Amino acid sequence: MARGGSPQYKIIFGETVGNPGLDVLDIEAVSAIAHEHGVPLLVDSTLTSPWLIKPFDHGADLIYHSATKFLSGHGTVVGGIVVDSGQFDWERSGKFAELSQVYAGFHNMVFTDESTVGAFLLRARREGLRDFGACMSPHTAWLILQGIETLPLRMARHMGNTERVVEFLANHPMVSRVGHPMLETHSSHKLAQKILPRGAGSVFSFDIKGTRLQGQKFIETLKIFSHLANVGDCRSLVIHPASTTHFRMDDAALVSAGIGPGTIRLSIGLEDPEDLLEDLKRALKAAEKAAEKAA
């Protein structure tokens, strides 16, 4: 972004941790850049949840969550949440005429006059409901609220289980890489220790030493991990991108996208950690044998 705040820039967006590499966002540094140029910082905190980090404390202006994930915790609803910190001055920025000037589409309302601290959220709520029908059903909202009541207990268990699984995988001879910031080898290790002391989440990837066929065999052998593309569930989930979401790409294209033929993404759930480790051991052994048969 050029100095002086080029007008085409309206917002900076980032994730607390990237999916699935778990690169940690330096929220304080990025928010300082955003505010220098008069734009807000929007942070997706889905994979960390409020129990692991509160982005507003680090300078973020807007937060959103996919409530389908950790907030509800059971993968049974579809929902999302947007939160406005009330700290960004939309009028002073001079970049948001849709909030600071008369809007004929909503009874000539000036949203910054109606709500000096929550103008964005006010328009998002009123116009979103009226024009897009983005209204959550009462039952869905109730299920999410039920899930939030147990969020601290679940997140503590998620992180405890994740620590066990990461340590196991990092020391297994069939595993070439584990992408979690709790490991000193991860590029975001120091930053994660600073701003995510409770943990950097339970969704991460690792690479097995092998082919697509071995990756498929690994998945097929698992009994406790469910083969699903969702994350943040109370159940442990697994997906092999090379044979599912990215199966049309050849190995060279996969590498350019940061994915290998043996890349596996896990979302660690709430099961007994010993059961999870046993499931992984059995699947890794099967993947190893698949290579022997192919040879």
| Same structural domain, 116 and 157 | no
Boundary (domain end) residue, out of 112, 145, 178: 145
| Same structural domain, 134 and 168 | no
Q: Tens digits of per-residue pLDDT, 236-247?
A: 999 988 877 777
| Same structural domain, 18 and 105 | yes
| Same structural domain, 79 and 157 | no
| Same structural domain, 120 and 21 | yes
| Same structural domain, 220 and 236 | yes
| Same structural domain, 129 and 166 | no
The total number of structural domains that make up the chain: 2
Q: What is the pLDDT of residue 254?
A: 77
Residue 19 has pLDDT above 60, yes or no: yes
Domain that holds residue 193: 152-294
Q: What is the pLDDT of residue 7?
A: 58
| Same structural domain, 96 and 161 | no
Alpha-carbon dihedral 193, 237, 144, 116, rounded to 10 degrees: 40
258: left (phi over 0), alpha (psi -120 to 50) or beta: left
Boundary (domain end) residue, out of 118, 145, 172: 145
Average pLDDT along the chain: 91
For the chain, percent of residues with pLDDT exceeding 90: 69
| Same structural domain, 125 and 158 | no
Give the lowest-confidence range in 72-81, 124-133, 221-230: 124-133
Q: What is the pLDDT of residue 249?
A: 82
Is residue 3 included in any domain, yes or no?
no
Sheet holding 12-15, edge to edge: 12-15, 41-44, 62-66, 80-84
Q: What is the CATH number for 288? A: 3.90.1150.10
Q: What is the pLDDT of residue 3?
A: 45
Q: What is the pLDDT of residue 134?
A: 79
Residue 171 has pLDDT above 80, yes or no: yes
| Same structural domain, 23 and 131 | yes
Q: What is the CATH number for 60? A: 3.40.640.10
State phi, psi for 292 to the nearest 5 degrees. -65, -40
DSSP element (H, E) containing 226 = strand 226-227
Please state the rounded mean pLDDT for residues 209-228. Answer: 92
Contact (CB, 8 A) for 186 and 18: no
State phi, psi for 17 to the nearest 5 degrees. -135, 140
Q: Tens digits of per-residue pLDDT, 269-286?
A: 999 999 999 999 999 999
Other Cβ atoms less than 10 A from the Cβ of 131: the count is 10
